A and B are shown apart, each in its own frame.
Chain A
Amino acid sequence: MDVRAPVGACASAANVDVAWARPDSEGEQSRLDDWCSATGKPVVRQPASAYPAGVLDREATPAGGPVPDRSDPFSNTGIDPVETLIVATWNIEVGSGDLYAFLEEQIGYSCESARNVNESRVPFVLLVQEAHRASNEIPAIPEGVSLPSAIGRSSARASRSDIVEIADRCGLSLFYAPSMRNGAEVEGEIPEDRGNAILASIPLSGHSAIELPLETQRRVAVAALAHPPGREPIRVVSFHLDVAANMLRVITTGNSTRLRQGLGLASALEELDRGHRQVATIMGGDVNSWSEKESVIRHLTERFPESPKATAEGTRGSYPTDHMFLRTVEGSKVSLDEGSYRVVPDEYGSDHRGRVLTVSFVGS
């Protein structure tokens, strides 16, 4: 993977301080840029309510504005350290999933009361797949660019909130990077794009967008450093792999689609770590796997050795498509809470059920 600033069509997306990683192949980069040209810019939101009291004064980070890439601006701030951090992953089917209800019932986070900065906050990170953003700032579709079908526009949910609106309403940190347009332009409707996002009740920094090896659709994993109050930062990653390549590619590569994308993501994360202090990493996403034994899961588990055991429990119907991975580093004070890894029993309107785990911090 090539870790550098975006080029080509994606260069226009460099409105915020986001590090980009992408495949080395120029052919792939060119096709990825075609996909990128039909999407809007990444979004970073850092609301005042996501910061522990006193931090904002020192950091002087504007609420809702861009956040510069700083390796560790928020830890050891002299505030009471948190004991645990909840991390969840969920594919919300482009606005079909009711995130407000999910947060309240599964995380214990009420968006209604969250706007009060002084209220006791649940430290959590939600790794979101198939998030969408509706905005008139999304560019017109360039000629000749292939588009995926729209998802979620016919959702049964009456109020279909986009990810930026949800982050604002709930007072959450947000990093969203679109992977692709959400269908063709529809007259009278606001353009939409979709991709992966990270929502958090704690500050995020070190935002990175990782373009996965191109198989069928452009997939951009998002990574950021989450800062649990009083604790070392943890890298959190939200990703979504392709379902399958075309038939010829499946036959000629031995169905390597998801393995290639998963290994590309792992390599990019290792390169990002090389440039920074190594931190524990929690990764969650839609692997699109039919079985918990798939080679991509085996390889990612090998590279993330502290991962919870992949289970066969279905997260999309009876298929175990969604998984979480954990890697700690030497001297890390983070450990997975045994027995905390679970599948959320309700889909909340999406076609996926989420997964949730809790990590504990050892020592003070």
Chain B
Amino acid sequence: MIATLFFPSRAAAQQNVSSESTEGSTGAVVGGAALGMYSGTVLATVGSLIPCTRTYEGPACVRPAAIAGGLIAGISGASLGAADAERVEDYFVAGVIGAGVGGAALLAVQPFLERWSWADVGAGALVGGAIAASGTGAAIGFGAGAIAGLATWQLIPAMKLPDAAAVTLFGLAAGGIGGWVFRAIDAHDGAEDAESALLSFTIRTN
């Protein structure tokens, strides 16, 4: 017997109609758009913070980046929902888990912060949810960004640790938003969702 803990509808689909293709729905289009917009907006904000702080425009430069990120991921999310409702459901659940992890992380570091408030926990949840909802794209982008950032930090004397952090966060944002685009393309091409293997927890008995 196979029981999927987090995605029962997917488990049922795998058990009963393994060869049947998935379908979209109006609700999934709206949900995918909302989820993508939220995830893309937060990721683009986080990714543009440090670079924008070094421009004359400052915060005014973060705003268009956030809008662009939200639009790209939102449109991709809507497109994904039109092709495969189950994937939207999966990414939503992943986002909820990520929000819990993000909030818990901010709770855990409370003893080390001079000033702390529940707003910080909310912010941790907001960011955690956005990252988790964007899935492997954000993870790949973060990893690539971290490697590139650390390498340039070590190789170029003028680069400092915040520059490495900026490259890392930019990678996270670009990877996450790019991930939404590739998800939508994959769903329309009928390709299997590689991320479901990472998201699903299966328990086998007998």
Stretch at the interface among B27-35, B52-60, B86-94, B140-148: B52-60
Given contacts A216-B115, A318-B160, are A254 and B58 in contact (CB under 8 A)? yes
Q: In the docked arrangement, what's the CA distance between A1 and B105, Å?
A: 38
Q: Chain A 244-277 against B: per-residue CB contact (8 Å), 1 yes, 0 no?
A: 0011111101111001000000000000000000
Bound complex: CA A218 to CA B95 (Å): 37
Digitize A113-128: 1 where CB-to-B-CB distance is under 8 Å, 0 elsewhere.
Answer: 0000000000000000
Q: Are B63 and A251 in contact (CB under 8 A)?
A: no
Distance between Cα atoms of A318 and B161 in the complex (Å): 10
Tell me if A305 counts as interface (CB < 8 A to partner B). no
A253, closest chain B residue (CB): B59
Residues of B close to A312: CB separation below 8 A: 158
| Contact indicator A254/B127 (Cβ below 8 Å) | no
Q: A256 and B114: CB pair below 8 A?
A: no
B120 to chain A, nearest CB (A): 5
B59 with A149: CB separation less than 8 A: no
Contact A255 B62 (CB under 8 A): yes
Shortest Cβ gap from A264 to chain B (Å): 14
B contacts with A, residue count (CB < 8 A):
32
Asked if A248 and B160 sit within 8 Å, CB to CB, the answer is no
Contacts of A298 in B (CB 8 A): 55-56
Q: Mark A72-98, 1 if CB is under 8 A from B, else 0.
A: 000000000000000000000000000
- State in angstroms the CA–CA spacing of A299 and B57 once bound together: 9
Contact A254 B60 (CB under 8 A): yes
Q: Which chain A residues (282-309) contact chain B, with CB distance < 8 Å?
A: 290-291, 293-296, 298-299
User: How many A residues face the partner with a CB closer than 8 A?
Assistant: 26
Query: Which A213-251 residues have C-beta < 8 A from chain B?
Result: 216, 246-251
CA distance A296 to B53 in the complex (A): 8
Distance from A111 Cβ to chain B, minimum over Cβ atoms (Å)? 34
Interface set, chain B 122-143, CB cutoff 8 A to A: 122-124, 126-127
The stretch among B41-49, B74-82, B198-206 that forms the contact with chain A is B41-49
Contact, CB under 8 Å: A295 / B53: yes
Using known A-B contacts A246-B119, A248-B120, A251-B46, determine if residue A295 contacts B160 with beta carbons closer than 8 Å: no
Closest-CB distance, B39 to chain A (whole angstroms): 14
Q: A248-B123, A251-B123, A255-B52 in contact; A296/B58 too (CB < 8 A)?
A: yes
Which of B62, B120, B122, B160 lies in contact with A254, CB distance below 8 A? Answer: B62
Cβ of B190 under 8 Å from chain A: no
With A251-B46, A255-B52, A259-B59 known, 5 other A-B pairs at CB within 8 A are A255-B53, A255-B62, A295-B54, A295-B58, A295-B59
Give 13 A-B contacts (CB < 8 Å), ordered by A residue.
Answer: A148-B114, A247-B119, A247-B123, A251-B49, A254-B63, A255-B53, A291-B53, A291-B160, A291-B162, A293-B54, A293-B55, A318-B160, A319-B160
Among all A-B residue pairs, the 3 with the closest Cβ atoms: A295-B58, A254-B59, A254-B62
